[in-house]
Structures are given as structure tokens and as C-alpha cells.
């Protein structure tokens, strides 16, 4: 085993890596990972890693860790080394590249990345780095693989590694030196290797990998490749099993980089004939799915890239389209799926042309038939797994998009006509006594449903009329009925323009609710919802029929399906004149409430009935919406009646989370309908909601209270103001008690909904918020919310804190006319900040160093600036104390120290604008440290 200057460190490294190899304990693995990452931050890691990497007796895992560590340190910690040691580090990495040329590949890649990152940070070496390595390694066969691996990772690392600490100007200069100025040298090197006698498949693969990397980066153009033997070698390699994958990927990359057609026509003219000549391979390799998949990928890449050439030079490029159509016809649906984007992009391009070549139209007609064939369910569905069935359903929906793409080329009427013809043919064969599988009927129904979005509903279309007429007579198979219902739900805009068909569609839909197949029932609910949404005015005469249907069939349905019916009824009600709509809504609501009340007993069954009833009422109210501020006569006494029932439900069952949740949602929607007519009830409503929160601690009550205050907080009503204040104080006291008994982070829902109370108070009732004895507790909860890992909650919390600290009462000029209570507001805020300030500053910086999302930076900067501006002396004490108490990784210690210097400078210079860059610099250091502390590979 290699020796280092610190054997104890080596033992710890070996032990920690051993945990990855042997332990399944998550805590052990996390601890080992943390120790290894902390070690990587140290200066000692340079020497230890170099020694372990180069030692002949180090085991492979240890060498891999050493290579990872060196790569990480070159990226993040190069400033730990004096500049005179950088050449020694470079020589060590070059020696490692030589040593590991034969593998393992993962270690070789890490060394190559380290060397690439080092070159970007060594201005004296960058201009000659590539040429030096070519001269040092390129002529020794044993080192060629190492050199090629370095050249393979170099373009991508230089282009995408934003973690390397160089300025934009330095980046441009060094990337030019490393890449652009060396592209011809690299191309000549690759040409030399590919034409060398006795070149091994391994070296050929690496040559193609390097070439692909340089082509994708844009440093080597497709035209440059076309002028070298590499071009022919790539096509020749497609005939070799060992090189097929790498050569195929390279060809895809090369084609992709010829998208600027005007600049690349010579190489395009060279690629396309070679590619078309390979079309017979689709038939030759049709039994090899892996090969066929790559062939398909190549042809599709060419088709997408050269689609405009296909449009304007169809005769020349038609074989490409035919090859892709051949791929689409594959029984392997994963391969057929690769062609989807091509049909979309070509269809988009063709759809903009005045005329479409007939040869292309014929291909699209064949593709249309192909994909309708692909959407047939398997003849034996039981033979497939649940995962296969899910994948197939997803595939079918993607095919639906391809059928729409066919409309761009063939026209929606043609595609609909062709699809209907397939359906009619299947039905006709069935009527003639021939056996017709249900799949033959279901597939065109699914296809016509997918085409619904492409149909112009304003135009007369005889085919749609025929489709609607044929639906009631379809076979009774559940999958066929499901497809027919989903088709109806897509074609309801047409039904709205042809209301004479409403009765037949409504009858078909309602009869489907009695089907034994649950998916069919669900589809019926879906179809009814859209029929009622699009045809709401026409369906008013049928509402009594739906009312009776709901009374007789409704109890037998699943709740989800009943909700679909109530939503549908809501759409019809929303189209009625206001007074009639109010009476109708009342009728359905009374029925729901009577169902809730007639169920005897207080048990789980009764609770379920209440939950279902409240969900139905919520669905109904949500769709109907508001009648406006002036209520119809039918609603004048309804608020009192509804509250009598709701208060009873809350009193008896409000401790059940599900009933609490649904009750509060219904109350919110009820307030939306009754608006100011409910004002006399609000004090009682607040008292009830507050009492239930005190008894249960369920967050939904806080949410509902917040909605009430938001709606009525500006009302000039003393009893209401008193009720709001009492509610605020009692809820704050209860929340404080909850967070005292157990950690605040365990009650994120309570915190989140408590903020919904404070928000309208700050905006509408600041006198209640600030002058209440509950304000210090309330502010403490806002500060505590910054500990949560829920970004939405912390974002809202810091916004409220910022609003409080920045209140006009604190910054009003002494000689200005201000509201009489502003001095009282200012004193309340100042007294609270004096007490809570250290905790607030602590949570701000802990969040900044740990879990705050980047979008919270603006709020953090503003909050710290306000604190520094108004409580300068305090902040000079709080910030150093807080930062000293917060444990951070060794990598962040310099950043923390620098922030303290920058903070003090902002105060001394009386330039608080300096705070933002100081905080931003600290945050960038945090993000950089987080980026490097990713879990090590096991």
C-alpha cells in the first residue's frame, strides 16, 4: 500500500471507501461521504491524492477516489497552491495520463478532466497544452489511448464547465488557444491514426469519440471532416459490429452539424448518396433491434436536418422519407417512436407550402395507415404486463400527435375520411357475419378522437355526422364504448352547433354510467362534463332529466363519477338567467344537505357521506361561481340556512381532517357567492373556525380564516374588526403552543396557513397586527418559518418580514403628516426587532448558507439592508456573532470571513449598496460548495 506523510489519513480514506463497498446503512454511507468530501477540501488532499494515484500498489477504488479528488481540487481549490507548483501538478497529471492509458476508463476520464481544467487556469501553458501533449504522448503507442481520451473530454469540459473560476475574457482567450487553434492539428492526428496500419478497434472507437466531441463543439466542421479519410472510415465502420455504434453516433452528430444548409451543401451532397445507399440495411438488420434502432436514428436525423431539401428537391431526397417510413412500420414500437419528430417537423414545413408533391402525400398516406395499425391493442391483452400496458397507452397518445401531423400534409378532412373508412369497413364486415375483433373498431375511434383538435367546427362535415350516427350502434365491448365516449367528449363543439344530436349523445352517455366497467363509467363522466360545458345553453331543457338520473343512478356510482355529473350540472346552471340559476342551485344544494342530514348516527359511514356531500357541493359551487354583489331573491336567506348546517358539521365532525378540509373549501366558495350578504354571519363564522382550530390544530381552519380576512378585512364594522382581532390573537397563541410542544418544521402546513392570516392583516388591518399583544409571537413565527425547506413558505415569510421591517411607520419623516397610529406601529416593530433580531439574522444566514433557493436572494438582500439601515449598531453585533456560531465546511470559511470584511466596509463607507454584491459573493460561494459536495460514486 502506498505511504503518505500521514498514515492515519490514509487509513481513514480506506475505511470510508470501504463503507461504500460493504455497507447498506444510509447513515454510515452519508457520514463516510461527508468525511471524504471534507478531506477533499483540505490542502493535505493534494499530496495524498497524488501519492495514492501514482502508487503501483493502490487498489482501483483508491485510485479512482484520488483521481476524483484531484479533478475536484483543480476545479475548486487551485488557489491553495502557489503558482510555481502548478507545472509540477501538470507533470503529475500527464504522468497519470500515461500510466492509466490502458484503463480503467473511469479513472482515466477523471484525470483527463483534471488536466483540461488545469489547462484553462494556466495561461502560460494553455496556448501550447494540446500540442505539447500530442508531442509527448502521440508517438508512443502505449500512451495514444490516454491522449485520445483527453482530447475527447476537452471540448465539452472547456465549453460547459462553468465552475472553473476564470473571467469571461480569460475564458474566451484560453478556449481559443485550447480548441480553435488546435482543430487542424487534432484532425491531422486523427487522420494519421485512422489510416495507420494495424489500428485496433479500441483506438478506432476513441478516434471517432474525439472526432464526435470536436464536431459537436463546433470546432471541427462537417466540411473539414469530409475532406479527410475520416469520412470514408466512418461509413466503412458501419459494416463492422465492433464499431457500428460509435460510427453511427458520429454520423448522426456530423449530419446534425450540417443544419446551415447553404454553408454545407458540398458535404451534404456527399453524405446523402452514401446514406441512401444504406437503406437496404433496414431490411437486412430488421431482426436486430439494436442495429435497426441506430439506423432509424441516423435516417431520422438526416430527415429532420434536410427537411427543407426534401420539400424543394423531393425527387432527390424522397428515398430518405421512404426509409423513415420503413422504420415507422417496424413492429418494434420503440423504433417506430423515433420517427415521430420527423413527421412533425416535415409536416410543419410542408404545411406552409402552396402545393405538396404527390410522392410525399403517398408516403404520408402509407404512414397514416401504419400508425392506425400501430394503435391497435394487442390481440391478447392478458399476455402483457401492467407496465407494458401503461407504456402502450402513452405510445398511443404520441401517435395521436402524429396523426395530427398527417393533417398538415393530407388535410384534416382526408385523414378523418380515411379513418372513418377503416371504421366503416370493420363495422360492415361485422354486419356481414364476419368475425371482427374489437381492436379493429376501437383503433379508428381512438384515431378520430385524436383528430378532433384539427377539425374546423365551423364547417359542415358529413363525416362527423356519420360518426355521430354510428356511435349508438357500436359493439358493446367496454374498450369500444370507452373509446366512443372519449370521442364524444372531443367532438362536443360540433354537437353544440348541431343541437339536434344532443339527445342521442346524452342518452348514450347516461346509459354508460350503468356499465360494469369502471373505466367506461369514468369516460361517461368525462364526456358528460364536456357536453355540458360546450352545450350548456342547449342542455337547460334536459336538466330535469339529469336531476332524475342523479337521484336514481347517482347513489350507485363511485364518488369520482358523481363529481363529474355535478360539475356538468354546474355548467348548465351557469348558463341560466340569474334568478333561475339561483333557484336551481338552491334545489341541488338542498338535496345534498338533506343527504348529509338524513344519515343517522355519528360513525365512519356518516363521515364518508358528509365528505362525499361536501365534495359534490364544492364541485357545483366552483363551476357556478358568483352571482355578483346583488344576490337573487332565492339566495337572500340561504346564507343563514347554509351556515346552520355547516356549523353543525364543523362542531360534530370538524376534528376529522378530511371533513375539516372540505368544509373550509365549501365555506370559501359560499362566501364567494353570498359576498356582503354574509357579513352579519362573519363574527360567528370566525368564532367557530377559531374554536375548532384551538381544539384540533388542523391547518385548514387557518386557511379559511385567512380567506375570510382577505375578503372582509377592509369592512368598516367594529364587531367584525373585534372578531378579526380576537381570531388573530387566539390563533397566534395556539400556533405558538403547537411550536413549543414540537419543532416548527414538523408543522409546515400550520405555518403555511398561518401566513395566510398575517398577509391580509399586514395589507388591510395593520392596526390589528401591530398593536395586538400577539404581534411579537406572530413575528417570531414568521422568523421561524425561515427554517423550513419549503421554498414557497420561506419566500412568503421573508416577504412578510420585509413588509413589516420596511413599513412606512419606521421611515416616515419627522415633520411629515403621518397617520396618528404610525408612532405606535413603529414602537411595536422596533421593540419586537430588538428582541427577535439575532434569531432573524441567524435564520437568514443559515438559510443563505444551507437551503434558501436562489430566487430568495432578493428578499434576503432587502431584509438585511433594511436591518442594517435602521438597526446599524445592533447588526454590527448580531452578524459577526451569528456567523461565528454557524458551522460551515472548510471551503466556506474564507468566503464567510470576506463577507464580514465587506459588511463592515459597507457600514463604514455608508454605502449600503455594497451589501448586495457582498451577499451575492457569499451565495455564489455557497452554491459552488454545494456543487462540489455531490455524493461520491459508490
| Per-residue confidence (pLDDT) for residue 27, from 0 to 100 | 80
Average pLDDT over residues 609-625: 93
- Give residue 938's pLDDT band: very low, low, confident or very high (50, 70, 90): very low
| Per-residue confidence (pLDDT) for residue 362, from 0 to 100 | 94
Helix H segments across 77-200?
86-99, 105-121, 129-137, 141-160, 168-178, 183-194
| Per-residue confidence (pLDDT) for residue 268, from 0 to 100 | 94
pLDDT higher than 60, residue 857: yes
Cα-based distances in Å from 68 to 72, 159, 469, 750, 854: 6, 20, 69, 44, 28
pLDDT higher than 70, residue 933: no
- Give residue 364's pLDDT band: very low, low, confident or very high (50, 70, 90): very high
Of 556-560, 580-584, 776-780, the range with the highest mean pLDDT is 776-780
Average pLDDT over residues 853-861: 88
| Per-residue confidence (pLDDT) for residue 194, from 0 to 100 | 93
- Give residue 815's pLDDT band: very low, low, confident or very high (50, 70, 90): low
How far apart (Å, rounded) are the C-alpha atoms in residues 849 and 927? 9
Query: pLDDT (tens digit, 9 = 90+) per residue, 64-74?
Result: 988 998 998 89
Average pLDDT over residues 217-236: 93
Report which of 491, 422, 500 is spatially closest to residue 461, judged by C-alpha positions.
Answer: 491
| Per-residue confidence (pLDDT) for residue 816, from 0 to 100 | 65
Q: Return phi, psi of residue 356, to 5°.
A: -120, 130
| Per-residue confidence (pLDDT) for residue 923, from 0 to 100 | 81
pLDDT higher than 80, residue 889: no
* Residues in Cβ contact with 666 at an 8 Å cutoff, skipping those fewer than 6 apart: 614, 617, 618, 621, 646
Average confidence score pLDDT of the chain: 89
Q: Which residue has the higher pLDDT, 39 or 2?
A: 39
Average pLDDT over residues 93-102: 92
Cα-based distances in Å from 537 to 548, 564, 581, 785: 19, 18, 12, 49
**Residue reference for cell 423550513:** 788
SS3 887: coil
Long-range CB pairs of 8-11 (<8 Å, 24+ gap) are 9/39, 9/44, 9/48, 10/48, 10/52
**pTM greater than the 0.75 cutoff:** yes
Q: Which residue has the higher pLDDT, 815 or 609?
A: 609
How far apart (Å, rounded) are the C-alpha atoms in residues 416 and 454? 10
- Give residue 865's pLDDT band: very low, low, confident or very high (50, 70, 90): very high
How far apart (Å, rounded) are the C-alpha atoms in residues 301 and 297? 6
Percentage helix, strand, coil for the chain under 3-state DSSP, each rounded to 5:
80, 0, 20
| Per-residue confidence (pLDDT) for residue 55, from 0 to 100 | 85
> To 10 degrees, what angle do helices 775-785 and 718-741 make?
50
CB 768 within 8 A of CB 725: yes
Query: pLDDT (tens digit, 9 = 90+) per residue, 553-568?
Result: 888 889 999 999 999 9
**DSSP assignment of 3-38:** --S-HHHHHHHHHHHHHHHH---HHHHHHHHHHHHH
How far apart (Å, rounded) are the C-alpha atoms in residues 481 and 524? 9
Of 55-69, 378-392, 563-577, 626-640, the range with the highest mean pLDDT is 563-577
CB 217 within 8 A of CB 253: no
Query: pLDDT (tens digit, 9 = 90+) per residue, 290-346?
Result: 999 999 999 999 999 999 999 999 999 999 999 999 999 999 999 999 999 999 999
Long-range CB pairs of 711-717 (<8 Å, 24+ gap) are 711/671, 711/675, 712/679, 712/682, 713/760, 713/761, 713/763, 713/764, 713/765, 714/764, 715/679, 717/679
| Per-residue confidence (pLDDT) for residue 934, from 0 to 100 | 56
Query: pLDDT (tens digit, 9 = 90+) per residue, 494-505?
Result: 999 999 999 999
Q: Which residue has the higher pLDDT, 654 or 11?
A: 654
pLDDT higher than 60, residue 1: no
Average pLDDT over residues 131-157: 92
SS3 801: helix
How far apart (Å, rounded) are the C-alpha atoms in residues 686 and 882? 40
Q: Is the peptide bond before 120 cis (omega within 30 degrees of 0)?
A: no
Cα-based distances in Å from 389 to 289, 383, 384, 386, 699: 20, 10, 7, 5, 40
- Give residue 935's pLDDT band: very low, low, confident or very high (50, 70, 90): very low
- Give residue 931's pLDDT band: very low, low, confident or very high (50, 70, 90): low
How far apart (Å, rounded) are the C-alpha atoms in residues 268 and 256? 11
| Per-residue confidence (pLDDT) for residue 936, from 0 to 100 | 44
**Residue reference for cell 401566513:** 755
Q: What is the percentage of the chain residues whose pLDDT exceeds 90? A: 61
Amino acid at each position: 500500500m502506498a505511504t503518505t506523510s500521514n498514515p492515519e489519513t490514509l487509513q481513514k480514506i480506506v475505511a470510508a471507501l470501504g463503507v461504500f463497498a460493504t455497507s447498506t446503512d444510509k447513515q454510515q454511507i452519508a457520514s463516510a461521504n461527508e468525511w471524504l468530501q471534507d478531506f477533499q477540501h483540505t490542502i493535505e488532499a493534494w499530496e495524498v491524492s497524488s501519492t495514492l494515484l501514482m502508487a503501483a500498489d493502490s487498489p482501483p477504488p483508491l485510485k479512482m477516489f484520488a483521481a476524483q479528488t484531484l479533478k475536484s481540487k483543480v476545479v475548486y481549490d487551485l488557489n491553495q497552491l502557489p503558482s510555481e507548483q502548478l507545472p509540477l501538478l501538470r507533470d503529475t497529471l500527464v504522468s497519470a495520463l500515461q500510466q492509466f492509458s490502458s484503463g480503467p476508463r473511469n479513472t482515466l476520464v477523471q484525470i483527463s478532466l483534471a488536466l483540461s481544467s488545469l489547462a484553462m487556469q494556466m495561461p502560460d501553458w494553455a496556448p501550447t497544452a494540446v500540442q505539447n501533449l500530442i508531442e509527448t504522448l502521440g508517438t508512443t503507442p502505449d500512451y495514444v489511448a490516454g491522449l485520445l481520451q483527453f482530447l475527447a473530454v476537452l471540448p465539452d469540459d472547456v465549453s460547459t464547465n462553468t465552475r472553473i473560476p476564470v473571467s469571461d475574457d480569460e475564458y474566451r482567450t484560453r478556449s481559443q488557444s485550447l480548441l480553435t487553434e488546435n482543430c487542424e492539428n487534432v484532425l491531422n492526428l486523427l487522420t494519421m491514426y485512422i489510416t495507420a496500419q494495424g489500428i485496433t478497434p479500441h483506438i478506432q472507437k476513441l478516434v471517432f469519440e474525439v472526432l464526435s466531441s470536436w464536431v459537436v463543439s463546433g470546432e471541427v466542421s462537417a466540411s473539414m471532416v469530409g475532406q479527410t479519410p475520416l469520412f470514408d472510415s466512418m461509413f466503412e465502420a458501419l459494416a463492422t459490429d465492433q464499431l457500428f455504434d460509435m460510427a453511427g453516433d458520429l454520423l448522426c452528430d456530423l449530419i446534425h452539424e450540417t443544419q446551415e444548409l447553404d454553408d454545407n451543401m458540398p458535404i451534404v451532397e456527399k453524405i446523402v448518396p452514401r446514406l441512401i445507399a444504406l437503406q437496404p440495411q433496414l431490411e437486412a438488420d430488421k431482426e436486430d433491434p439494436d442495429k435497426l434502432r441506430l439506423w432509424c436514428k441516423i435516417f431520422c436525423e438526416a430527415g429532420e436536418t434536410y427537411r427543407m431539401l426534401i420539400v424543394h428537391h423531393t425527387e432527390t431526397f424522397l428515398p430518405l422519407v421512404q426509409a423513415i417510413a420503413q422504420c415507422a412500420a417496424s413492429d418494434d414500437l420503440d423504433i417506430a417512436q423515433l420517427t415521430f419528430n420527423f413527421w412533425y417537423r416535415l409536416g410543419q414545413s410542408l404545411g406552409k407550402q402552396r402545393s405538396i408533391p404527390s410522392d410525399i402525400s403517398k408516403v404520408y398516406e402509407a404512414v397514416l395507415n401504419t400508425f392506425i395499425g400501430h394503435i391497435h391493442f394487442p390481440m391478447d391483452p392478458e399476455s402483457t404486463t401492467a407496465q407494458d400496458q401503461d407504456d402502450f397507452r402513452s405510445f398511443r397518445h404520441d401517435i395521436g400527435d402524429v396523426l395530427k401531423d398527417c393533417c398538415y400534409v393530407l388535410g384534416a378532412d382526408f385523414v378523418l375520411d380515411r379513418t372513418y373508412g377503416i371504421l366503416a369497413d370493420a363495422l360492415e364486415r361485422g354486419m356481414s357475419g364476419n368475425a371482427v375483433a374489437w381492436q379493429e373498431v376501437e383503433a379508428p375511434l381512438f384515431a378520430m378522437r385524436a383528430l378532433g383538435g384539427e377539425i374546423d367546427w365551423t364547417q359542415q362535415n358529413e363525416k362527423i355526422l356519420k360518426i355521430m350516427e354510428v356511435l349508438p350502434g357500436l359493439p358493446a365491448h367496454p374498450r369500444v364504448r370507452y373509446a366512443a365516449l372519449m370521442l364524444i367528449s372531443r367532438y362536443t363543439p360540433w354537437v353544440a352547433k348541431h343541437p339536434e344530436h344532443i339527445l342521442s349523445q346524452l342518452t348514450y352517455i347516461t346509459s354508460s354510467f350503468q356499465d360494469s366497467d369502471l373505466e367506461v363509467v369514468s369516460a361517461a363522466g368525462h364526456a358528460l362534463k364536456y357536453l355540458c360545458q360546450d352545450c350548456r345553453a342547449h342542455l337547460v331543457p334536459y336538466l330535469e332529466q339529469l336531476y332524475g338520473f342523479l337521484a336514481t343512478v347517482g347513489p350507485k356510482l363511485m364518488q369520482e363519477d358523481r363529481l363529474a355529473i355535478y360539475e356538468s350540472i354546474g355548467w348548465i346552471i351557469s348558463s341560466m338567467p340569474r334568478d333561475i340559476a339561483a333557484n336551481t342551485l338552491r334545489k341541488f344544494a338542498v338535496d345534498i344537505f338533506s343527504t348529509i342530514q338524513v344519515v343517522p348516527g355519528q360513525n365512519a359511514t356518516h363521515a364518508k357521506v358528509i365528505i362525499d356531500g361536501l365534495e359534490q357541493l364544492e364541485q357545483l359551487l366552483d363551476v357556478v361561481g358568483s352571482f355578483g354583489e346583488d344576490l337573487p331573491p332565492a339566495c337572500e336567506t340561504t346564507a343563514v340556512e347554509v351556515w346552520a348546517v355547516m356549523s353543525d358539521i364543523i362542531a360534530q365532525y370538524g376534528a376529522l381532517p378530511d371533513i375539516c378540509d372540505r368544509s373550509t373549501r365549501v365555506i370559501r366558495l359560499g362566501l364567494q357567492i353570498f359576498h356582503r350578504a354574509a357579513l352579519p354571519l362573519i363574527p360567528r363564522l370566525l368564532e367557530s373556525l377559531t374554536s375548532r382550530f384551538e381544539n384540533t390544530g388542523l391547518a385548514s381552519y387557518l386557511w379559511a380564516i385567512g380567506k375570510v380576512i382577505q375578503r372582509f378585512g377592509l369592512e368598516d364594522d367594529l364587531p367584525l374588526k373585534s372578531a378579526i382581532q380576537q381570531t388573530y390573537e387566539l390563533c397566534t397563541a395556539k400556533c405558538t403552543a403547537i411550536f413549543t410542544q414540537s419543532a416548527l418544521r414538523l408543522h409546515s402546513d400550520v405555518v403555511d396557513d398561518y401566513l395566510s392570516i398575517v398577509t391580509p392583516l399586514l395589507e388591510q388591518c395593520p392596526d390589528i397586527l401591530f398593536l395586538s399583544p400577539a404581534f411579537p409571537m406572530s413575528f417570531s413565527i414568521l422568523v421561524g418559518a425561515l427554517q423550513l425547506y419549503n421554498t414557497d413558505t420561506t419566500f412568503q415569510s421573508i416577504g412578510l418580514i420585509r413588509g413589516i421591517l420596511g413599513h412606512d411607520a419606521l421611515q416616515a419623516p419627522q415633520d411629515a403628516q403621518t397617520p396618528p397610529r404610525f408612532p405606535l406601529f413603529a414602537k411595536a416593530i422596533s421593540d419586537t426587532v430588538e428582541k427577535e433580531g439575532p434569531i432573524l439574522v441567524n435564520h437568514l444566514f443559515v438559510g443563505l448558507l444551507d437551503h434558501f433557493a436562489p430566487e430568495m436572494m432578493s428578499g434576503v438582500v432587502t431584509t438585511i439592508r433594511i436591518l442594517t439601515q435602521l438597526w446599524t449598531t445592533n447588526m454590527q453585533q448580531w452578524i459577526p456573532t451569528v456567523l461565528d456560531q454557524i458551522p460551515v465546511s472548510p471551503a466556506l470559511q474564507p468566503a464567510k470571513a470576506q463577507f464580514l470584511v465587506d459588511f463592515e466596509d459597507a457600514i463604514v463607507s455608508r454605502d449600503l449598496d455594497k451589501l448586495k454584491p457582498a451577499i451575492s459573493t457569499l451565495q455564489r460561494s455557497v452554491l459552488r460548495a454545494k456543487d462540489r459536495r455531490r455524493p461520491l460514486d459508490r
